[in-house]
Chains A and B, each alone.
Chain A
C-alpha cells in the first residue's frame, strides 16, 4: 500500500513538473514572443 502511494506521489510530482514547464513555455510565448517589442 505504501509503495503504491509512493509511486502515485512520484507520478503526480512528475506531472506537476511537466505542467510547470508547460506553463513556462506558455508564459514566455505569451509575454516574451508576442507582447514585448520585437528585438532588433
Chain B
C-alpha cells in the first residue's frame, strides 16, 4: 500500500537535497567522455578502422563470399550502410529489451500482488503490460526493417545467414505471435480471470520472449563464433547441411553467455527505465497519492536495475572467456587492441551507474535514516558512493597508450591499467551493489513506506540519470559486440563487402552522435507512451 495519511508538508524536509552530488556525477560523466574521446581513443588507434588493421586477413576471404552485387550506398559517407544497420538494430534492441527484461519484472509484480494483495503491485503490473503491448509493434517494426536493410545492403551475407538460420528464425517469427498473445491477453484479462490464469499468462510471456531471444541469438552469436571454418552446403531438402553441422552453427561457443548476459542487461535496463519514467510522472502529478505511488515505483525500478546490473560482470566475464577461447583475435580487438576504448566506455558507464544509484539511496533515505538515527547506514551509503567512484577511476584506466595494440613496440604501459586491478574494482562494485540492495530491502523494509512522497530533487535527478545511463550502456554493449567482429560479418568467413572503400566499424564520433539520437528518440517514445499507459491511484475508478 502507499503510505497512509497525508505526506508531511514540504517545509518539513529538504525538497532540493544535495544537488552538488548530481552536479558531480554530470561533471564526472562529461570529463570521462572528453578524456576518452580527446585522449584515449586517438592514442589507442581507436580512430583507425578494423578494415585497415585487418587488411591482410581480408585478402584470405573466399571469392564466393565476396559481394557479387554492386554496393548499395545510402548517401551517408563510407560508413553509411553500417550507420543504417547500427541505427535500426540498436533502436530495436531498446524496444525488444522492454519485453526481454520487462516480462520478468511483470512476472514479479503479478506474484507480489497475489502474495501481498497490495494494490500498487497490480496497478504497476497492469501499466507495464499495457506499455509493452503498445510498444510491441515498434520493436517488431525495427526488427523487420533491420532484415530489409541486411538484404538490401549486405545481400551476400543475407543469403548465407538466412539460409543457415532458417529454422531458428522461423521459430523466432512464430514466437512473435506467441509473445504478443501472452502479454496482450494478460493485460486484457487483468483482474478478470483467476490467479492461476494470471500466473500462467505472466509466466508464458517471459518464457516465450526468452526462447525468441535465444532463437535470434543463435545467429547473432554465430556471426562472432561461427560453427565451422567455412560454409558448406549439402543437397536440397529440409536441411541444407547435416543436422550435426547445423547444431554447431546454432549452438555455437558464445550462444549461452550472450543469451544470459542479454537477459540480465535487459532486466537492468527495464528497471532503470521504470525509475526514469516514475520520476517524470512524479514531477507531472500533483496529487499526494500519485506522488507517493510514483516515488515507490522509482525505488522499485532502481532495485531491479541494480540487482540485474551486479549480475552482468559475472556473465560478462563468462562471455569474454568464451570469446577468448573461441575467437581470440576478436578478443584482442576489444581487450588489447583498437576497440578497447569501447570496453572502457562500458565500464565507465557501469561505475557511474553504481555511483548514481548510491547517491539516489543517500538522498532518498536521508530523512528516514536521520529519523531512525541510523547514522551508521547513512555513513555507509556515503562510503559506497566514494568507494564506487574510486573503483570507477581504476576501471577507466587505459592499459596502454601510444599504439594500436597493447604490445606494440613503443606503446606505453599504464601501471594502473592492470586487469588484475580492474577485476578487483569490479568485485568491489558488485559487493557495493549487493550491500545496497540488502540494506534497502532488508534493513529498511517496512520503514520505507512511511516516507513515500517525500522525494527530493536530488534523488529524482539521480534516478533520471540512472535511467539514461542504464539505457546507454545497453547500446554500447551492442556496439562492442558488433565492432569486435569487424571487418567480418561471419568471422573470418564472410567479410563486410567493399573492402577499404567502406571501412568498419562505425567510427567513434559517428557512433557517439548515433547513441545520442537513438536515446533521445526512444526516450521521447517511452515517455509519451507511458503517459497514456500508466494507471494513477487517483484515477483508479476510471480504469
Binding site for B on A (CB under 8 A): 10, 13-14, 17, 20-21, 23-25, 27-28, 31-33, 35-37, 39-40
Contact = CB atoms under 8 A, between A and B. Distances in A.
Interface in B321-379: 321, 324
A38 B420 CA distance: 8
B324 A37 contact: yes
Interface in B303-335: 310, 313-314, 317-318, 320-321, 324
Contacts of A37: 324
Interface stretch (B162-170, B236-244, B433-441, B535-543): B433-441
B434 A27 contact: no
B314 A17 contact: no
19 contacts: A17-B435, A17-B438, A20-B434, A24-B313, A24-B431, A25-B427, A27-B317, A27-B318, A28-B317, A28-B426, A31-B318, A31-B320, A32-B317, A39-B420, A40-B399, A40-B400, A40-B406, A40-B417, A40-B418
B481 interface: no
Say whether chain A's binding surface is mostly helix, strand, loop, or mixed.
Answer: helix
Interface string B404-417: 00100000010001
A31 B420 CA distance: 11
Contacts of B441: 13
B423 A35 contact: no
Interface residues of B, number: 28
A32 B434 contact: no
Interface of B: 310, 313-314, 317-318, 320-321, 324, 399-400, 406, 413, 417-420, 423, 426-427, 430-431, 434-435, 437-438, 441-442, 445
Given A17-B434, A36-B419, A39-B418, 9 more contacts: A17-B435, A17-B438, A24-B310, A27-B318, A28-B314, A31-B317, A31-B321, A32-B317, A36-B324
B431 A21 contact: yes
A21 B419 contact: no
B419 A39 contact: yes
Nearest to A32: B423
Contacts of B419: 32, 36, 39
A36 B318 CA distance: 10
A33 B420 contact: yes
A25 B427 CA distance: 7
Given A36-B321, A39-B399, A24 B427 contact: yes
A31 B317 CA distance: 7
B405 to A, nearest CB: 12
A10 B420 contact: no
Contacts of A35: 321, 324
Contacts of A32: 317, 419, 423
A25 B430 CA distance: 10
